[in-house]
């Protein structure tokens, strides 16, 4: 036999042998299974989740400021979640997402909750003048906390915010 015949015979043998289901077929079956599960399981699971969510206490206003941890609305620190901004000189290609926890008294917490939009705008303004390098520098973190605290206390007109914690401070 010539070399060409051997080569053709090897290709034919390879093409006719099956090594099991293809990866594409497995992905199609998995996608169909997930879709069917969502289609048929959704009407069953959705009411169960809605019942659980309805039974959990909520402040009901959805403004993003909430008591931190297990504290009720009348005591404990105040968390300001999902503060998102573009740092200075980033050209919109980078962003910071942060959660601030404010150590305040009851009166200040109530005022900050009622002025949530104003407080969030102020905090974003203070943070947005910082560059990515400044926001990433751990040695500047206390200075940033101080700037935020001073800005909030100036907005309030009194020293109501005692400390600021940054449990979430992520730069992307």
Give me 94's structure tokens.
């980078």
pLDDT value at residue 39: 60
Token pair, residue 145, equals 């906390």
Alpha carbons 160 and 119: distance in angstroms, whole number: 13
Residue 84, strand partner residues: 97
Q: Which of 63-72, 85-94, 129-138 has the lowest mean pLDDT?
A: 63-72
Place of tokens 């497995």: 26
Find the range with the poorest average confidence among 45-54, 106-115, 125-134: 45-54
3-state secondary structure of 2: coil
Is it the case that residue 112 has pLDDT exceeding 90?
yes
Residues in the chain: 172
Note the pLDDT of residue 71.
45
Helix (H, G, I), strand (E, B), or coil: what is residue 131? strand
What domains does the chain contain, in order, with CATH numbers?
Answer: 3-55 (no CATH), 65-171 (3.30.479.30)
- Inter-residue contact 78 to 69 (CB < 8 Å): no
Tell me what the pLDDT averaged over the chain comes to: 78
> What pLDDT digit, counting tens, does each position of 61-88 carry?
444 555 545 444 556 799 999 999 999 9
Q: What is the mean pLDDT of residues 15-33?
A: 67
- This prediction's pTM: 0.58
Q: How confident is the model at residue 157 (pLDDT cuts 50, 70, 90)?
A: very high
Q: What is the pLDDT of residues 25-60, one digit of tens each?
A: 777 776 676 666 666 665 665 565 555 555 555 554
């Amino acid at each position: 036999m010539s070399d060409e015949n051997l080569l053709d015979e090897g290709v034919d043998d390879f093409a006719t042998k099956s090594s099991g289901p293809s990866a594409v077929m497995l992905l199609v079956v998995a996608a169909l299974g997930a879709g069917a599960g969502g289609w048929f399981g959704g009407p069953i699971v959705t009411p169960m989740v809605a019942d659980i969510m309805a039974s959990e206490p909520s402040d009901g206003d959805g403004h993003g400021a909430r008591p931190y941890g297990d504290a009720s609305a009348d005591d404990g620190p105040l968390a300001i979640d999902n503060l998102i901004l573009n740092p200075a000189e980033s050209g919109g290609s980078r962003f910071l997402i942060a959660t601030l926890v404010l150590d305040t008294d009851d009166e200040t917490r109530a005022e900050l909750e009622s002025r949530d939009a104003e407080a969030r705008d102020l905090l974003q303004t203070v943070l947005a003048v910082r560059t990515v390098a400044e926001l990433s520098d751990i040695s500047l973190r206390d200075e940033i906390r101080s700037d935020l605290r001073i800005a909030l206390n100036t907005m309030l007109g009194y020293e109501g915010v005692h400390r600021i914690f940054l449990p979430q401070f992520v730069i992307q």
